[in-house]
């Protein structure tokens, strides 16, 4: 009897779920949700073809160094790089002496404590230090940025879909709000203090355009610093900060594939040798 009751209860539960699923599907078909401005006018980034992309991608260290220059001159005023140490820059071609000079001359110093008075103070950066945050805490960061919190950029190309392409598109994507958007969605006007950018999730971003003119950064290798070039270079640099071991990972993957191919042929050869002349 108890078994029969449990079967009836289970069947009733399945029946209710089926009715709910049918009702949801019917509503979705007959009364589709209205499209939002974000859905209609949001754009997807184009592939910028960084050398690090693809199965055999490698970093162009000269480009990554140029990207570091863009970060240093443009992005570091608001965005932290807390998972990267100054000494990591040796992996992109800087010498130990250059890294020491970069750390020592970095505008933002490391927080410290005066051993004599116990009061808070600062000290020069060392190569072993991580890049210091431009703000003392989250409250200070929001106060300086219209209550928006600038994200840390260490892993930004891994945290965003289509990371490097997204970073490039976002930096270069600022524009005036199209008249078609306001005509179709009158209530979607960009609020004061925000900036229209179709590559941002909700179309309006608190960060003002970081690259405002060609030549904003001077490249030591003589490359012409157009806005597009600077955006590409900083995207390459942030790809490196997110995946500093990308080249080693690609090499290990290639070695594994080659090993598996050789192993398959050896196994096939052993099979042919063992079962040669044996009738099945």
Q: Which residues are annotated as a binding site?
A: 75, 78-79, 207
Element housing 111 (H / E): strand 110-113
How far apart are alpha carbons 223 and 278 in whole angstroms?
69
**CA angle (93 as vertex; 92, 96 as ends), nearest 5:** 110
- Residues marked as binding for heme c? 75, 78-79, 207
> Do the beta carbons of residue 225 and residue 214 sit within 8 Å?
yes
**CA angle (229 as vertex; 225, 231 as ends), nearest 5:** 115
Residue the block writes with tokens 């539960």: 13
Which among 151, 99, 143, 146 has a CA at the least distance from the CA of 125? 99
**Overall size of the chain counted in residues:** 280
How far apart are alpha carbons 54 and 77 in whole angstroms?
32
Residues 6+ apart with CB under 8 A from 176: 196
How far apart are alpha carbons 247 and 158 in whole angstroms?
16
Both structure tokens of 166? 């997204």
64: left (phi over 0), alpha (psi -120 to 50) or beta: alpha
How far apart are alpha carbons 163 and 167 in whole angstroms?
6
Both structure tokens of 14? 């399945």
């Amino acid at each position: 009897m108890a078994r029969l009751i449990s079967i009836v209860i289970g069947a009733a539960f399945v029946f209710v779920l089926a009715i709910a699923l049918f009702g949801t599907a019917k509503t979705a078909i007959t009364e589709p949700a209205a499209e939002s401005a974000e859905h209609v006018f949001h754009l997807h980034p184009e592939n910028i073809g960084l050398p690090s992309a693809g199965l055999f991608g490698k970093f162009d260290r000269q480009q990554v160094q140029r990207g570091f220059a863009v970060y240093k001159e443009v992005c570091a005023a608001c965005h932290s790089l807390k998972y990267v140490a100054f000494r990591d820059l040796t992996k992109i071609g800087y010498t130990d002496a250059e890294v020491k000079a970069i750390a020592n001359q970095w505008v933002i110093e490391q927080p410290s404590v005066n051993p004599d008075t116990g009061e808070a103070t600062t000290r020069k950066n060392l190569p072993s230090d991580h890049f210091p945050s431009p703000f003392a805490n989250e409250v200070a960061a929001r106060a300086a940025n219209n209550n928006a919190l600038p994200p840390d950029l260490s892993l930004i190309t891994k945290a965003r879909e289509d990371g490097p392409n997204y970073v490039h598109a976002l930096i270069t994507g600022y524009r005036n709000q199209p008249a078609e958007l306001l005509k179709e969605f009158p209530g979607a006007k960009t609020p004061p203090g925000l900036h229209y950018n179709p590559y941002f999730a909700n179309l309006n971003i608190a960060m003002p355009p970081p690259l405002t003119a060609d030549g904003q950064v001077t490249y030591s290798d003589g490359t012409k610093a157009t806005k597009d070039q600077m955006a590409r270079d900083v995207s390459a640099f942030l790809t490196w900060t997110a995946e500093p071991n990308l080249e080693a990972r690609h090499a290990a993957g290639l070695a594994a594939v080659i090993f598996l191919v050789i192993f398959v042929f050896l196994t096939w050869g052993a099979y042919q040798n063992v079962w040669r002349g044996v009738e099945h």
